[in-house]
Structure 1
Amino acid sequence: MLYRIISQEGFFKIYSGLTASLLRQATYSTTRFGIYEALKDYYIKHSHNQHPGTLVLLPMSMISGAMGGLVGNPADVVNIRMQNDSTLPIQQRRNYKNAFDGLYRVYKSEGLKSLFRGISPNLVRGVLMTASQVVTYDIAKGLLIDQVHMDPAKKSTHFSASLIAGLVATTVCSPADVVKTRIMNSKGSGQGAWTILQNAIKHEGVGFMFRGWLPAFIRLGPHTIVTFLVLEQLRNFRLGM
């Protein structure tokens, strides 16, 4: 697919929707990571427990993920449409100039409600992503330090823990990702997440929920690794954390 896009449409087509993707990260990721770290710090400060367990971290991550999904939904709608635009017939293409043009045009032509199309699966995805990503990272890092005796300050420890987190997050979030993408890329068919899920399982089988797992991991794996390596450096230099 990567080869076909570059050879048939040009190199820069693999960056379709970049502005919307950046806007999504600037809203979705900063919200979920910020709230999660704030909740965790608050708990540690008031409980005097430096190593909260899974039962404590899980609800924190779920709240953070849901808030991130809500804040990032408009940018996510535009992002998915811009990335999929070239697959549509020419007369049906939206041709958004950038993320802000996309937000404005969706609002103007389809209404505010359309910016929150797919909000249900996106909230579910936000919860699943944050819970599987940050909790898995914290648990994996703890196990690598305690059981494998890796240095908690070294980047190799952070890299290993984030790679595990990326694998888990990709697998857990794949079903919600597939359904969310189909809803957001639709032209308002009126079908909800549950109807789309039922129809897809009926016509394509359960395996449809993991369609695109490899490209999802190729995206989410490096993304997770870079995110946590940067977060650890921010924590190390005490920049906002």
Structure 2
Amino acid sequence: MASSSAPPAVNLDKAPASTPVIAKKKAPYPFWLGGVAASIAASITHPLDLTKVRLQASGDKGMVNSLRKTVRTAGVRGLFDGISGTLMRQMSYSLCRFWAYDESKKIVGAGKNAPAWKLALAGSMAGGIAGFVGNPAEIIMVRMQGDFAKPPEKRLNYKNCFDGLFRMVREEGFSSLGRGLTPNVFRAILMNASQLASYDFFKAELLRSGHFNDNIYCHFTASFAAGTVATTVCSPADVLKSRIMNASGPGSSSTLAVIKNSFKNEGAMFMFKGWVPAWSRLQPTTILIFLTLEQLKGIVDWTRGDKQSLFS
């Protein structure tokens, strides 16, 4: 009788071949985080921003003298003139620029260790978009901050940011919302290319050096450097923007007219008028924005289950 061999036994307990573990892609942060962080920072530094605008748009001499004049004429509450305009600006311009920056980095392929030029390109793209979107709120903010620096008979006396917006359209036409658009967009491009891009660049370099961890000390150092870079780069466009948006006479608000008159009366250094108060305002604002934004991101991570990310 022919012998038949039994089939080899199959070990059913043998574990299947291990499959590579695919890292879970991190969910994006809420798009409004940047606007909230900027609003918190701007509320704290509003008196310095107010002083900077009044120095650029009026004949006030020196930051301390301008602060004293504000307190003398309007009291301590006067240091927060136009705060509603500031918050409107942050929740339009700043919200848009942080969202657009993240999206622009995806478009240009600016990853974690991207070169500076890619970050600057993404920042420029975001600045152009945000400068256009936030222009009406920028006008309201500048006007409300500069109102008490004018003689009483020339003040606009907006009740709040929405009153100012409605009155601008009613009294000056819809086209008034575009006043100063060109220098404002130009400044926004410079600001985002210098502030957002340089923060990412300095942060990456600090982490790469091995002397810093991704914590508050690294965030502070990177934001301090970014604030100084941004102040210097943006000063000329910032001065022009403030002067144009404050101009009220026909023909007096054109960019060329403002540049011509400013060069004639003050020389080329008018472009850096108010640099010290601008730095004094932008430096803490930049630090507060990025520290707050990093902590808000940490809170979001914490709510998603990363218990080590809170207040890092």
Shift of 1:238: 4.4
Match of 2:105 among 40, 46, 68: 40
1:4 corresponding residue in structure 2:
69
Corresponding residue number in structure 1 for 2:93: 28
Structure 1 segment 1-241 matched on structure 2, within 5 A: 1-41=66-106, 49-147=111-209, 149-152=211-214, 154-191=215-252, 192-238=254-300
Q: TM-score under structure 2 normalisation?
A: 0.71
Q: 1:43 to 1:124 in 2, by over 3 A?
A: closer
C-alpha displacement at 1:27, in angstroms? 0.3
More helix by share: 1
In the alignment, the residues of structure 2 paired with residue 87 and residue 148 of structure 1 have an alpha-carbon distance, to the nearest angstrom, of 49
Whole-Å separation in 2 of the counterparts to 1:219 and 1:82: 17
Deviation at 1:54, TM superposition (A): 1.6
Contact 2:93 2:133 in 1 (8 A): yes
Q: Write the distance in 2 (CA, Å) between the matches of 1:205 and 1:43.
A: 39
The whole-number CA distance in structure 1 between the counterparts of 2:211 and 2:256 is 45
1:148-206 CA distances to partner (integer Å, 9 max, x unpaired)?
62112x10110111011111111111110111111101114324213311321222111
Give the drift of 1:237.
Answer: 4.2
AA aligned opposite 1:156: Y
Note the residue ranges of structure 2 that are not aligned, 5 or more in a row. Answer: 1-65, 302-312
Mapped to 2, the partners of 1:190 and 1:40 lie a distance apart of 39
- In the alignment, structure 1 segments of 5+ residues that lack a partner are none
Q: Which has the higher contact order (CA 8 A, sep 6+)?
A: 2
- Tell me whether 189-198 or 86-95 shows the greater mean CA deviation: 189-198
Q: Which has the larger radius of gyration?
A: 2
CA distance in 2, matches of 1:30, 1:133: 15
Is the partner of 2:291 in helix, strand or coil? helix
Aligned-partner Cα distance in 1 for 2:77–2:248: 26
3-state SS, counterpart of residue 28 of structure 1 = helix
